[in-house]
Amino acid sequence: MNIATGTAIVPRQSSAFSASLTSRLVALAIIAYALYASTQLGFSWPRFVAGLEHGARFLSRMFPPDLSKGDILWGGIMETLQIAVLASLAGILLSLPIGLLGARNLMPGWVSWTARGFVSACRALHPVIVAILFVKAVGFGALAGILALVVASIGFIGKLFSEAIEEISPKQVEAIRATGASFMNVVIFGVLPQVMSRFVGFSTYQLDSNLRNSTMVGIVGAGGVGGVLFSAFQRFDYGFVFTILFTIISIIIASELLVNFVKKVFHV
């Protein structure tokens, strides 16, 4: 109450959804840097319009699709599927112990940080770059592609699995320990039941991702349909390029349906 005027003083209320000064400054800094970056990379509207015209001309050369090389396409597709399945299986099996070692609530600091450093190193490079390294090491073919995707799987699943273990409830673990159970029994009966559904979700996503990546590693000589696609581009055989791309898109859609089915089976 203002005694001099006799009016009530209404306290100032701040909006619950108003942004703070710091968040506004950060947002302005991001927008300013985006504008600066766009001026440094040579973007222009005429260049974009010309690109659309070139793209339309390129797409028109893909028709009609070439369906006469079914044997070559089928061989590449089968190798791509085999690379994705084998790499996913090996990567998932290796990620289980590595992710467990990286959990800071179960392991000593030097063990968890060593495991996390290894997982970060696996995740640092794109699978295509890793595939180039393995092609140099073991030669052209599917083995280089499998090894590259195993590394990518460990980098992804290992990190998420460690974080999932760190979020579990400690009560179940302590109850198992109170019975005098060994460390492996604690893991089997106290840790895995709490994270298994999430681990299945991570694994199905990685299988889906490896199906996509297995087409890319073939471009650098690591097996699969990517090599067939690259050869078709080099021969300007755009009708066959369209057939390959349409087949890859169909496989990815089919894999999405398969992953959803697996998730329903495991109630993920």
Q: What pTM was estimated for this model as a whole?
A: 0.79
Lowest mean pLDDT among 42-56, 75-89, 146-160, 250-264: 250-264
Q: Could you read off the pLDDT of 26-72 as tens digits, one per residue?
A: 999 999 999 999 888 888 888 889 999 999 998 898 888 888 888 88
CA distance 177 to 128: 44
Q: Is domain 69-266 annotated with CATH 1.10.3720.10? A: yes
Domain with CATH 1.10.3720.10 in the chain: 69-266
CA 56 to chain centre: 31
In whole angstroms, give the CA distance from residue 204 to residue 206. Answer: 5
At residue 141, the 3 state secondary structure works out as: coil
Distance CA 31, CA 37 (A): 10
Give the model confidence (pLDDT) of 136-191 as tens digits: 999 888 999 999 999 999 999 999 999 999 988 888 888 888 888 888 888 888 88
**What integer pLDDT is reported at residue 268 of this predicted model?**
62
Q: Which of 196, 194, 208 is nearest to 261 (CA)?
A: 208
d(CA 116, CA 137): 25
Per-residue pLDDT reduced to its tens digit, 3-22: 555 555 555 555 666 778 88
With a cut of 90, say whether residue 94 has pLDDT above it: yes
C-alpha–C-alpha distance, residues 142 and 99, integer Å: 26
Peptide linkage before 64 cis (omega within 30 of 0): yes
Residues near 267 by beta carbon (within 8 Å), at least 6 away in sequence: 197
For residue 28, what pLDDT is reported? 94
Among 256, 193, 247, 173, CA closest to 215: 247
Q: What is the per-residue pLDDT across 204-240, written as a single tens digit (0 to 9) for each?
A: 888 888 888 888 888 888 888 888 888 898 888 999 9
Burial 212-231 (b: 16+ CB within 10 A, else e): ebbbbbbbbbbbbbbbbbbb
Q: How high is the mean pLDDT of the chain?
A: 86
